[in-house]
Amino acid sequence: MKIVLLGYMASGKSSIGKELSKHLKMNFIDLDDYIIEKEKETITEIFNQKGEIYFRNIENKYLKEILSKQDDFILSLGGGTPCYANNMELINEKATISIYLQGNVSTVVERLISEKAKRPIIASLNDDKIPEFVAKHLFERRFYYEQAKIIIKIDAKTKTEIVNELALLLD
Ligand code: S3P
């Protein structure tokens, strides 16, 4: 089984993926961490030194590399992964299941403001500009996110509740 978790920045893809992998005793891969390991640079360094286009190219390359693995895994994507190249098509072709962790603008904005520094896409924005940016950005990206096979709402739910909901669903 190849499970892919997707959704906007700060929707909990990595932490839920990690927790779910313990629950299901499956291998866990975080695409951003995989990129950091392979490139030996942080995501911020890649964005700042080589630019977003370079990042989107290697993101596509490593996504393909992971999806072609024979063994089972839970893969957490970066927030933008489904929205570039033919990534969403590839995901739905190669993965057993794709799951969109869907949060409202207010849910992700609150989390993003406190974790802004490690996210190059929003790092230079003033806090008061973030809600409008996220609202527009989510509007553009939902077309891709909604191609996921399953949509799970995350608003007002704890990590444990979401993991249990997913575990039940995948049983
Ligand atoms: C991005 C999200 C990030 C990371 C990169 C770009 C995006 O991942 O891949 O900074 O375009 O939304 P997270 O969703 O894990 O923050």
pLDDT digits (tens, 9 = 90+) for 139-155: 999 999 999 999 999 99
Q: How many domains does the chain have?
A: 1
Within-domain flag for 167 = no
Give the integer Cα–Cα distance in Å for 81 and 7.
9
Q: Which atom of ligand 1 is nearest to the CA of 118?
A: 10
Pairing of strands 73-76, 150-153: unpaired
Expressed in angstroms and rounded, the spacing between residue 101 Cα and the centre of ligand 1 is 14
Q: Is 121 in the pocket of ligand 1 (CB under 6 A)?
A: yes
What integer pLDDT is reported at residue 162 of this predicted model? 98
Mutate to test the pocket of ligand 1, among 36, 42, 43, 130 (most ligand atoms within 8 A of CB): 43
HSE-up of 142 (CA within 13 Å, CB side)?
11
Mutate to test the pocket of ligand 1, among 88, 119, 136 (most ligand atoms within 8 A of CB): 119
Q: What is the pLDDT of residues 45-72, one digit of tens each?
A: 999 999 999 999 999 999 999 999 989 9
Give the integer Cα–Cα distance in Å for 166 and 68.
24
CA end-to-end span of the chain, whole Å? 11
pTM of this structure: 0.97
What integer pLDDT is reported at residue 97 of this predicted model? 98
Within-domain flag for 85 = yes
Expressed in angstroms and rounded, the spacing between residue 43 Cα and the centre of ligand 1 is 8
Within-domain flag for 109 = yes
Q: Is 94 in the pocket of ligand 1 (CB under 6 A)?
A: no
Query: Mean pLDDT for the chain?
Result: 97
Please report which confidence band the pLDDT of residue 114 belongs to, taking 50, 70 and 90 as the band edges.
confident
Expressed in angstroms and rounded, the spacing between residue 157 Cα and the centre of ligand 1 is 22
Within-domain flag for 168 = no
Within-domain flag for 171 = no
Within-domain flag for 70 = yes
Expressed in angstroms and rounded, the spacing between residue 6 Cα and the centre of ligand 1 is 10
> In which domain, by residue range, is 143 found?
2-160
Give all strands of the β-sheet with 28-30 in edge-to-edge order: 28-30, 73-76, 2-6, 97-102, 150-153
CATH no. for residue 50? Answer: 3.40.50.300
What integer pLDDT is reported at residue 106 of this predicted model? 96
Expressed in angstroms and rounded, the spacing between residue 78 Cα and the centre of ligand 1 is 4
Expressed in angstroms and rounded, the spacing between residue 119 Cα and the centre of ligand 1 is 7
Give the integer Cα–Cα distance in Å for 140 and 25.
35
Q: Decide if pLDDT at 118 tops 90.
A: no
What integer pLDDT is reported at residue 171 of this predicted model? 82
Within-domain flag for 165 = no
Within-domain flag for 27 = yes
What integer pLDDT is reported at residue 121 of this predicted model? 95
Is residue 12 within 8 Å of 101, Cβ to Cβ?
yes
